[in-house]
């Protein structure tokens, strides 16, 4: 098979949602359909000891949440599907933002009872900003939730996107009978084996007791209304992210997932061209290998102290043992160890293509946003970094463990979940984060992965601002209300006590040009 055919078989997407909408459960069921796992785990499976395959980190299993992005590949219907399960918790949205830069489409999971929640909205906006197709799975239909029309209206009004239901629910909660597949007019019953079929007049081809049920007749009437008055199916609008195909189901019961997957592989895009910093557009089918690092994860296997850099292949073909050039340093190196993922299981990869996500074993060479190529001099655009809002002074409880302490901080900072600063005069380490949970995970991982207990002292919310013209900074500007620190790259950063302190400083020193990250 040629390069172009291999690349066109790739479908790479991220799953996004608010916490507890069922995102990781849906991931598990998709893997089950792809034959990648024999038995799907349940996220909150503490009693059974059976955890979701994509939640490999100890803290995730204990708390029943995803705090890292997992990458998995499986085969379905002749396609190679790369699925990235992202952290649902808002404290880890930076990891999710970067993940959304490495995919060609997104799947949004919505809880039928809750509708659009704040984190869903935030992540959808990133997908919209990128203009990538978004597919929607409305989950937990086996529980009582909002009316289907209300859910569609909420998606359209809140997210400013048209909807096209690909399946339609019959009932909900205890009276949930099943879903109608709009493409085939087949009814997939929730509690029965036999599929039912609607004829052209929206009547069952073979008689069934459910026909006597008024709720069933009401659902059929709703379905007819959707058929006649709903938005038209428009493949072009799906491709530009202006229309979302909507599916109803229950991921936990593995219901409605196959209908979703069948449609997804038909309409989700294969790898798309990507623009470089200089404005050059790199086509995936170019012979020249290129890719970028969007995530670094230390200690996926604590026994081996390994560090993996997650690389999205943008163009060409990767071959194990090939020589690649790290554009940031200009250095060339052979890649002898690369891996494909099945969450907590990895296997050596010999060949991979544009659209695939591979893990490169890393001894500290790579950084998030690095571009790798076989030879060509290009650099892809920088990945987003957030301005942290919460800050903590941090030190090792045991001064004899300083070496472990600094190694742990360095590696966890390189993963991008926390940011590292130090005071100008005393070099006191300070870590910054978008949310409180990041600090808890940091403390947990320092203890479990680096054998170091840490002392953390909150210094509260701060307004962090970088400085364009550092040469104009003077000593008197470093005060209790505008503390001057270094970031990990030794750039100077002001930590302002609050909005008022920031405005006061800007008024007093208008010549100092301040800026924030995302």
Instruction: Provide the H-helix boundaries in 57-190.
Output: 58-63, 93-100, 118-130, 148-159
Q: Find out whether 370 is annotated in a ligand binding site.
A: no
Measure the N-to-C terminal CA separation of the chain; round to a whole number of Å.
42
Q: Find out whether 140 is annotated in a ligand binding site.
A: yes
Q: Is 11 helix (H, G, I), strand (E, B) or coil?
A: strand
Instruction: Provide the H-helix boundaries in 9-115.
Output: 23-33, 58-63, 93-100
Q: Find out whether 21 is annotated in a ligand binding site.
A: yes
Output phi, psi for 96, to 5 deg.
-65, -40
Q: Find out whether 20 is annotated in a ligand binding site.
A: yes
Q: Find out whether 516 is annotated in a ligand binding site.
A: no
Q: Find out whether 80 is annotated in a ligand binding site.
A: no
Residues 6+ apart with CB under 8 A from 224: 202
Q: Find out whether 304 is annotated in a ligand binding site.
A: no
- Of 246, 260, 254, the closest CA to residue 116 belongs to 246
Q: How far apart are CA 214 and CA 70, in angstroms?
A: 44
On whether the CB atoms of residues 459 and 485 are closer than 8 A, the answer is no
Q: Find out whether 86 is annotated in a ligand binding site.
A: yes
> HEC profile for 214-276?
HHHHHHHHHHHHHHHHCCCCCHHHHHCCCEEEEEECECCCCECHHHHHHHHHHHCCCCCCEEE
Q: How far apart are CA 500 and CA 462, in angstroms?
A: 11
Q: Find out whether 362 is annotated in a ligand binding site.
A: no
Q: Find out whether 18 is annotated in a ligand binding site.
A: yes
Q: Find out whether 17 is annotated in a ligand binding site.
A: yes
Q: Find out whether 142 is annotated in a ligand binding site.
A: yes
Residue 106 token pair: 């997104």
Q: Residues within the annotated binding site for GTP? A: 17-24, 85-89, 139-142
Q: Residues within the annotated binding site? A: 17-24, 85-89, 139-142
């Amino acid at each position: 098979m040629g390069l172009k055919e291999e690349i066109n078989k790739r479908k790479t997407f991220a799953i996004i949602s608010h916490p507890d909408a069922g995102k990781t459960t849906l991931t598990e069921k998709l893997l089950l359909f792809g034959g990648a796992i024999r038995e799907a785990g349940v996220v909150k499976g503490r009693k059974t000891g059976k955890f979701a395959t994509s939640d490999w980190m100890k803290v995730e299993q204990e708390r029943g949440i995803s705090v890292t992005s997992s990458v998995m590949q499986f085969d379905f219907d002749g396609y190679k599907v790369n699925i990235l399960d992202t952290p649902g918790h808002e404290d880890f949205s930076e990891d999710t933002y970067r993940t959304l830069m490495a995919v060609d489409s997104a799947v949004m999971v919505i809880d039928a009872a809750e509708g659009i929640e704040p984190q869903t909205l935030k992540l959808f906006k990133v997908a919209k900003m990128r203009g990538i197709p978004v597919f929607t799975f409305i989950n937990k239909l086996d529980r009582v939730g909002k009316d289907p029309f209300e859910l569609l209206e909420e998606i359209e009004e809140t997210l400013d996107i048209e909807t096209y239901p690909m399946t339609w629910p019959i009932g909900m909660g205890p009276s949930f009978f099943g879903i109608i597949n709009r493409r085939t007019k087949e009814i997939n019953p929730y509690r029965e084996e036999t599929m039912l079929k609607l004829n052209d007049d929206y009547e069952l081809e073979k008689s069934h007791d459910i026909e006597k049920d008024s709720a069933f007749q009401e659902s059929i009437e709703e379905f007819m209304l959707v058929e006649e008055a709903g938005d038209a199916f428009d493949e072009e609008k799906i491709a530009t992210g202006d229309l979302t195909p909507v599916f109803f189901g229950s991921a936990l019961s593995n219901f409605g997932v196959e209908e979703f997957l069948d449609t997804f592989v038909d309409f989700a895009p294969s790898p798309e061209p990507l623009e470089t910093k200089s404005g050059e557009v790199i086509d995936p089918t170019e012979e020249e290998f290129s890719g970028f690092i969007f995530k670094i994860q230390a200690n996926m296997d604590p026994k081996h102290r390994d560090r993996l850099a997650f690389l999205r292949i943008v163009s060409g073909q990767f071959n194990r043992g090939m020589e690649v050039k790290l554009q940031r340093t200009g250095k060339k190196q052979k890649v002898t160890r690369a891996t494909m993922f099945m969450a907590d299981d990895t296997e050596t990869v010999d060949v991979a293509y544009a659209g695939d996500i591979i893990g490169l074993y890393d001894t500290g060479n790579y950084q998030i946003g690095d571009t790798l190529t076989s030879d060509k001099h290009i650099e892809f655009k920088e990945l987003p970094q957030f301005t942290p809002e919460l800050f903590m002074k941090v030190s090792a409880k045991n001064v004899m463990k300083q070496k472990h302490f600094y190694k742990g901080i360095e590696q966890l900072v390189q993963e991008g979940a926390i940011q590292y600063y130090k005071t100008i005069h005393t070099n006191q380490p300070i870590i910054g984060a978008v949310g409180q949970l990041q600090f808890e995970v940091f403390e947990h991982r320092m203890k479990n992965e680096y054998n170091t207990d840490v002392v953390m002292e909150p210094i509260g919310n701060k307004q962090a601002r970088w400085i364009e013209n550092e040469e104009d900074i003077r000593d008197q500007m470093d005060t209790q209300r505008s503390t001057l620190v270094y970031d990990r790259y030794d750039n100077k950063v002001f930590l302002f006590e609050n909005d008022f302190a920031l405005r006061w400083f800007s008024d007093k020193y208008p010549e100092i040009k301040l800026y924030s990250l995302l």
